[in-house]
Amino acid sequence: MSKRLSVILVVLIVAGAMLAAAEAIPVRPGDTVTITREEYERLQQYEKLDEVKQYIDSYYYEEPDQQALMDGAIQGLLSGTKDAYTFYYPEEAWKTLWEEDEGKYAGIGIQMLGSYENGTVTIIRVFKGTPAEEAGVRKGDILYKVEELEVTTATMQDAVNVMRGTPGDKVHVEVLRGGEVLPFDITKAEITVNRVESMMLDNQVGYIALYEFAGGSYEDFKAAFDELDKQGMQSLIVDMRDNGGGWVEAGVKLADMFLNKELLYYTENRAGEQEKSYTTDGKSNLPLVLLLNENSASTTEIVSAAMKDLNRATLVGTKTFGKGIIQYVMGLSDGKSGFQFTSAQYFSPKGNKVHKEGVTPDIIVEMPEALADTYFDLGDMADPQLKAAYEEALKLLPAQAAGT
């Protein structure tokens, strides 16, 4: 084996590409390693990468940060997919991912969604009582810059990594609002995410706002449902506007509450292979209204598309975002970093494509432009979309309840 190929092998072992071989064969400096022709041909494609690394190691004007070089190489490889949802989590970002899933993290307190059509990143939620809200950032703002990073769907995760970190640190953020660039210097703080809010809209119609499908969201939803049930709920509005999705498993658990052994969705990979996901034993026949908008995406669309196909709920609002693809999140061998990649797209029970198509509600209710950036209190009937959903929920009340 050539010296160059030996170096390439070491690089790949560090990166995890040869993990199995590395575990089976201890390699010491100066050792000769025999590999198959198939492995040799696979390694050859990394020759240019190693060539560049040798030049950087030898001639770069400062001592290079080896970990930063590896992180950049992995991110560069994934960015070649040109998929905004395929990216690398270096150590700090990997740690933050799981902190956020627990509902607590250090940041500024916003939720974002990237557009397939023009690459812009829109702020779809500003958490109450957070640095972003106090600074004046609004729902509907276009995230333009974070420090010196121009934010697009391709750099969205990099922007997230910069905005996260240590409480007390400052971050410079610029947004576009009405064609004007607005700068904000925001101090990071501990953020606690409320994923579910609920109330009775009257003595019959329950209301649950579900903001995302993340760690504990199903349990919070179930607890809210049970409490409303105790209060005499006869029909339910589930508000998933601006819910950008999250863990598919959380959506499946929620659907299990309302669907009896039904096909929920199926995925299809690039080879055309399909995998089907079914619900188990729905425990509630309660009439449902799902409230959606253009920022309802991913897992939210899995649930709403199935509910529509199976005539289990009435959908109210506007056409959803159209993120009909599923990602795997994978940890790497160091136990401190990971990555996610798009593995398949999904379809509704009737075979309807969701990706870049979205889910169209049964009843279309646009939000008037004058109210687009308005914050409504929970259950506020000045919200025209909620009012329309409420009127539909009243129609779905059981006859005896509606007559009381």
Q: pLDDT tens for residues 193-209?
A: 888 999 999 999 999 99
The stretch 2-16 carries a mean pLDDT of: 38
The strand order across the sheet containing 205-210 reads: 196-200, 205-210, 235-239, 288-292, 314-317, 363-364
Question: Comparing C-alpha atoms, which of 147, 168, 143, 169 is closest to residue 156?
Answer: 143
The stretch 112-129 carries a mean pLDDT of: 86
For residue 154, the model assigns a pLDDT of 84
Q: Which pLDDT tens digit goes with each residue over 47-78?
A: 999 999 999 999 999 999 999 999 999 999 99
Mean pLDDT of the residues in the chain = 89
pLDDT at 276 over 60: yes
pLDDT at 400 over 80: no
The stretch 167-194 carries a mean pLDDT of: 94
For residue 248, the model assigns a pLDDT of 94
For residue 209, give the 3-state DSSP assignment. Answer: strand
For residue 242, the model assigns a pLDDT of 92
Residues 6+ apart with CB under 8 A from 84: 114, 116, 153, 154, 156
Q: What is the DSSP letter of 369?
A: G
The stretch 82-97 carries a mean pLDDT of: 88
For residue 401, the model assigns a pLDDT of 56
Read off the tokens for 232.
Answer: 């005499």
Helices of type H across 287-372: 299-309
For residue 363, the model assigns a pLDDT of 98
How many other C-beta atoms are found inside a 10 Å radius of the C-beta of residue 219? Answer: 13
- The domains located in the chain, with CATH, are 3-64 (no CATH), 104-192 (2.30.42.10), 196-402 (3.90.226.10)
| Separation between Cα atoms, residue 301 and residue 348, nearest integer Å | 9
Task: Report the DSSP pairing between strands 235-239 and 263-268.
Answer: unpaired
pLDDT at 235 over 70: yes
Read off the tokens for 37.
Answer: 């022709």
- Helices and strands of the chain, counted as H and E runs: 13, 19
| Separation between Cα atoms, residue 60 and residue 15, nearest integer Å | 21
For residue 96, the model assigns a pLDDT of 80
Phi and psi dihedrals of 318, rounded to 5? -125, 165
237 strand-pairing partners:
207, 289
Position 7 confidence tier, pLDDT thresholds 50, 70, 90: very low
How many other C-beta atoms are found inside a 10 Å radius of the C-beta of residue 304? Answer: 28
pLDDT at 17 over 80: no
CB 238 within 8 A of CB 317: no
Share of the chain above pLDDT 70, in %: 92
The single-letter code of the amino acid at 255 is A
pLDDT at 99 over 80: no
Q: What is the pTM of this model?
A: 0.79
For residue 64, the model assigns a pLDDT of 94
